[in-house]
Chains A and B, each alone.
Chain A
């Protein structure tokens, strides 16, 4: 369970360690991201320190490498949190629907509440679980479902029935006043 819940962090870390392994056997060139990790590893495990060549290779990425590691780790932590919450929401629905309940972060990169509205305007059903995660549902073909009835939500939105589209070809959607 711990592995599953922290998959992205583990993957992020293991990816770096794998890269270290590859570099040590000469399969790839030293990279900015990997090199400082090797230094730390070597210093801790072998008490060895980098030589002038190591420093030369690292110089160009001195600032960017730690930043990249930090950003990717923060992203991995965020992804794990989203995955955990989506799983909680999926478990509150029939098994056949679960694989097709997806985080709105899969759909767009804006703030989740606005992406949720965008999905509803495009014809989908979106809802916010009690854990505050916004999700939407597609069928197995990836089509948005405008008349799905979600369970146990804080807030939900879907096209208003009877369906009506605006001049911009978007669906008129509702929330509190929908027929839930």
Chain B
């Protein structure tokens, strides 16, 4: 019975190792999916019609394949959000920066580097005239923002 405290501490230490292993496993899963997106770009670059594909067609090619990734994983979110980044020429470097922040090692994808900037839906952009058109309900400009009358906020995803 006197060994129980020691045993308990041992299990705590083993659990700490397990937490570390789970982190490594999550990183490995993320890396696998980031590499999978790179493979999608490899496939795109090997299309015989690649020189004639429009930005929308290239974007659709990638987006269709993204559906095979985990819906709540970092990789799918990474490409989904980077589609809204400007300028297009910096998309790859932003994606690469994000990947490397997750996997904590250098990451490269030559096909994505070559195609990320042009894989966009050119017809997608819609100018929002803030004079005549209201912003979305979850957004407010500085001049209309309220900075008093509430304690610390913890907003969740809209």
Contact = CB atoms under 8 A, between A and B. Distances in A.
Interface of A: 36, 39-40, 43-44, 49-50, 62-63, 66-67, 69-71, 74, 96-97, 99-100, 102, 106-114, 117-118, 120-124, 138-148, 160, 162-177
B50 to A, nearest CB: 23
Contacts of A109: 72
A110 B74 contact: yes
Given A107-B156, A145-B142, A66 B124 contact: no
A58 B85 CA distance: 53
Contacts of B148: 96, 140
Contacts of B138: 122-123, 143-144
A110 to B, nearest CB: 5
A179 B78 CA distance: 24
B77 interface: yes
A162 B127 contact: yes
B154 interface: yes
11 contacts: A39-B8, A74-B19, A102-B154, A106-B155, A114-B77, A117-B82, A123-B138, A163-B127, A166-B124, A172-B85, A173-B86
Nearest to A98: B152
Interface string B1-44: 11011001001101110110000000000100000000000000
Given A39-B8, A148-B142, A163 B15 contact: no
A63 B7 CA distance: 11
Question: Among the interface residues A40, A108, A142, A162, which one has the most CB atoms of the partner chain B within 10 A?
Answer: A142
Contact of B98 (A97, A117, A141, A177): A117
B102 interface: yes
